[in-house]
Amino acid sequence: ILLFLKDVGIEDNQLGAFLTKNYAIFSEDLENMKTRVAYLHSKNFSKADVAQMVRKAPFLLNFSVERLDNRLGFFQKELQLSVKKTRDLVVRLPRLLTGSLEPVKENMKVFNTRLFKVKERHLFLTYLGRAQYDPAKPNYISLDKLVSIPDEIFCEEIAKASVQDFEKFLKTL
């Protein structure tokens, strides 16, 4: 296993830190680990990419091919990334493959919810003729205000309309 780790790209001076974090590697089947590395190569990860990923995420080699494939698919699909961008992302942040998906899903939910709220508010302001985002012009609306304030304040201060009018508008979308 030590020779395999060296073949993957873990340097002699990195073995101690790697094994401290993932001593369970010794209970993994060597052939399974070779299959996992071969799988990554089949997805066009270079030898240097795999070495970097294993150094940054020591438990990567403990994950089955199916689990790695599912994780790569999740990020490609949910973030709507190309194959190359997915590969670049996990080379830079390989712990995305080994960590919990719950924080990622939660962040995506917040970004998508926020995007949805911005779209609704923008459409309402456009409908009212108040969508003005140029700071050099009067009645400027900052993106921060568009996103961060509660509906009541948005309606009263930004849209200059009632919450009921906003809610009626939303029903037309």
Contacts of residue 13, Cβ cutoff 8 Å, sequence gap at least 6: none
The single residue listed with the structure tokens 């779209």 is: 119
CB neighbours (10 Å) of residue 100? 8
* 98 alpha carbon, distance to own chain's centre: 13
Q: Each residue's pLDDT tens digit in the chain (173 positions)?
A: 999 999 999 999 999 999 999 999 999 999 999 999 999 999 999 999 999 999 999 999 999 999 999 999 999 998 999 999 999 999 999 999 999 998 888 888 778 778 888 999 999 999 999 999 999 999 999 888 888 889 999 999 999 999 999 999 999 98
Contacts of residue 3, Cβ cutoff 8 Å, sequence gap at least 6: none
The single residue listed with the structure tokens 């919450």 is: 163
Residue 10 CB burial class (10 angstroms; 0-12, 13-18, ≥19): buried
Structure tokens, 149 = 């304030």
> Euclidean distance between the first and final Cα of the chain, in Å?
59
Domain ranges of the chain: 1-99, 102-171
